[in-house]
């Protein structure tokens, strides 16, 4: 997929959509959408669901083999985790989390993000 095709899919996502990213084995559920971000998770065999943030705009910062202009996803940069927990089944938690991204209180981790090379709704 081209970056423009990936961006079109990411920008069209809505809460409740199910997606497969890259060659990941697990289907993620979109939990929230803001102006610049999409948050999705899946229930793993852990206490909390695993999550990812998908950026709606290409990255401007090349790092860890990801070129500038690529579409990316990954965790946030909180050292000890998000203060509200990652319980994205609660609408108030989703809204507060997206606001923390939009306001710059946190950001997608530059060290732990991944390039999106394919994405599709399922």
d(CA 26, CA 108): 21
Q: What is the C-alpha to C-alpha distance for residues 99 and 106, in angstroms, rounded to an integer?
A: 9
Backbone angles phi, psi at 7, to 5 degrees: -60, -40
Q: Could you tell me if 51 and 101 are in contact, meaning their C-beta atoms sit under 8 angstroms apart?
A: no
Residue 20: phi and psi, rounded to 5, are -115, 130
pLDDT tens for each residue of 18-64: 999 999 989 999 999 999 999 999 877 777 678 899 999 999 989 88
Q: What is the mean pLDDT of the chain?
A: 89
Judging by beta carbons within 10 Å of its beta carbon (0-12, 13-18, 19+), is residue 2 exposed, middle or buried? exposed
Diameter of the chain measured on Cα atoms? 36
Q: Quick: pLDDT tens for 102-115.
A: 999 989 988 889 99
**Is 39:106 a contact under the CB 8 Å cutoff?**
no
Taking the model in full, what pTM does it have? 0.90
């Amino acid at each position: 997929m081209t970056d423009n095709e990936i961006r079109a899919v990411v920008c069209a996502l809505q809460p409740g959509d199910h997606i497969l990213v890259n060659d990941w084995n697990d289907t993620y559920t979109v939990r929230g959408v803001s102006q610049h971000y999409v948050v999705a998770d899946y229930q793993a065999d852990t206490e909390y669901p695993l999550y990812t943030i998908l950026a709606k705009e290409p990255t401007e910062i090349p790092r860890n083999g990801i070129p500038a202009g690529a579409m990316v996803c990954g965790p946030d940069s909180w050292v000890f985790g998000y203060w509200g927990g990652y319980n994205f089944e609660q609408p108030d938690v989703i809204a507060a989390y997206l606001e923390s991204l939009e306001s710059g209180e946190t950001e997608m981790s530059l060290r732990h993000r991944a390039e999106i090379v394919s994405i599709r709704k399922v």
